[in-house]
Amino acid sequence: MGALDGKVALVTGGSRGIGRGIAERLGRDGALVALTYAQASKEADEVVERIRANGGEAFAIQAEFGQRGDAARLWEAFDARTPRPGVDIVVNNAARGSNQDLASVTEEEFDKVFAVNVRTPFFIIQEAVERMRDGGRIINISSGATRLAMPNIIAYAPTKSAVDNLTLHLAKLLGPRGITANSVAPGFVDTDMNADWLRNDEEAWARSAAISALGRVGEPRDIADIVAFLASDDARWITGQVIDATGGSLI
């Protein structure tokens, strides 16, 4: 018996990187996993097939985020596709990066990053609550950048601070239903998205590893295992928290 047998999970941005690691781990633990992707349809299909090959259930939903109504369209597609109505676990992982300093950020870029990283998760949760069974789990993927000064991502970091604050309010609001809400804040993680400046740059890799108390760069499974714990019944007494998943960066 898996820890999540009988549960239904939605993982946004589940075709690559951290999201893929989360989707595959929840699938191994027994959850039926619905994962979203923006453009990477091939990668999304690979994740679905991998989960199924391991005896799990999964399906992928194409979803573009950042436009008004995107959350409602996602849930319409979810309702039409899921073999089991309702949801138990929602992981807001999809996000838009913004590697620009204060002088470079335009109003257009600012609006886009907040639309994807704050507005979309907010309305995904708003729609999820009416579908979520009591005892459910909301897990928002935040960032270690909320506590580390990184001026080169000055528009991105505040979006994750907003997500952490949203998590706090959700924990209080939904607690009477036994629904927990927590954030997970990764540090430097080896993903395709970070390949150009991290994986393919030996100096950047060494610097990033040195920042961690554990002396290495994170892997998607490091984050996925924490999310799986929060999704399980073992984490039933944890809510309203930001779980640092940076490997002890700059402590």
The per-residue pLDDT for range 11-66, each reduced to its tens digit, is: 999 999 999 999 999 999 999 999 999 999 999 999 999 999 999 999 999 999 99
Indicate whether 200 belongs to any domain. Answer: yes
User: Which residues are bridge partners to 180 per DSSP?
Assistant: 137
Q: Work out how many domains the chain is built from and give that number.
A: 1
**In which domain, by residue range, is 65 found?**
8-245
With cut-offs at 50, 70 and 90, classify the pLDDT of residue 198: confident
Establish whether 37 is a catalytic residue.
Answer: no
Model pTM score: 0.95
Which residue out of 37, 78, 156, 188 is catalytically annotated? 156
Q: Check residue 139 and give its pLDDT.
A: 98
Are the C-beta atoms of residues 96 and 14 closer than 8 Å to each other? no
Indicate whether 250 belongs to any domain. Answer: no
Indicate whether 73 belongs to any domain. Answer: yes
Say if strands 8-11 and 180-186 run parallel, antiparallel, or are unpaired: unpaired
- Among 15-19, 176-180, 193-197, name the one with the lowest average pLDDT: 193-197
Indicate whether 211 belongs to any domain. Answer: yes
pLDDT at residue 142 tops 80: yes
Closest CA to 184 of 245, 251, 121, 248: 245
Mean pLDDT of the chain: 95
What Rg do the C-alpha atoms of the chain give, in angstroms? 17
User: Which residues are bridge partners to 37 per DSSP?
Assistant: 62
What CATH code is carried by the domain that includes residue 190?
3.40.50.720
